[in-house]
């Protein structure tokens, strides 16, 4: 299982990750991207590639 993590110290709120995620992991909250469905991630690679601030990390998550 993959987990999408957003570093709020880096995120500048462009919203691009919301647009490119095929499984809708992200939504905007208070001007930042919140990975509210982080565990839906299928590791497609779109969001780390598109994020201009290098704010997203995909990790191996709970349950392997």
Binding site for ligand SF4 (CB under 6 A): 4, 6, 11-17, 20-23, 25, 33, 41-47, 50-53, 55-56, 58
15 or 60: whose CB is closer to ligand SF4?
15
1 or 20: whose CB is closer to ligand SF4?
20
In whole angstroms, the minimum distance from the beta carbon of 63 to ligand SF4 comes to: 16
Distance CA 43, CA 52 (A): 18
2 closest CA partner among 60, 51, 64, 63? 60
Long-range contacts of 27-31 (CB under 8 A, 24+ apart): none
């Amino acid at each position: 299982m993959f987990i999408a993590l957003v570093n709020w110290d880096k995120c500048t709120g462009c919203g691009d990750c919301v647009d490119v995620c095929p499984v809708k992991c992200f939504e905007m909250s208070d001007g930042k991207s919140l990975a509210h469905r982080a565990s839906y991630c299928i590791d497609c690679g779109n969001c780390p590639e598109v994020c201009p601030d290098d704010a997203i990390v995909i990790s191996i998550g709970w349950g392997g």
